[in-house]
Chain A
Amino acid sequence: MTLAVKSLLFIAVLGLAACNNPDRYGAGGAGGDGGAGGIDTTGLGDPSNPTSIAYFNQTVGDRVLFAVDQATLTPEGRAVLTRQAQWLNQNPGYAAIIEGHADEQGTAEYNQSLGAKRAAAALNFLISQGVAANRMRPISYGKLRPIEVCSEEACYAQNRRVVTVLAAGAGV
Chain B
Amino acid sequence: MTPSLSPLPPRRTFADREDLLGAVMLGPALAYVILLVGVPFAFAIALGFSNATAGSLSFGWAGLDNYVAILGDPIFLRALRNSVIVTVGSQVLVVVLATAAAQVFRATFWGKRFARFVLLLPWAVPVSLAAIAWTWIFDSTFSVINWTLKAAGLLHGWLYWLGDPALALLAIIIVQAWRIFPFATVIVLAGLSSIPQEIVEAAIVDGAGFWRRLFRVELPLLLPVVAVAVLFGVVYTATDLGVVYILTGGGPANTTHVLPTLAFQRGILGADLGQGAAIAVFLLPFLIVVAIGMLRLAHRTEVGGAR
A, B assembled together: no
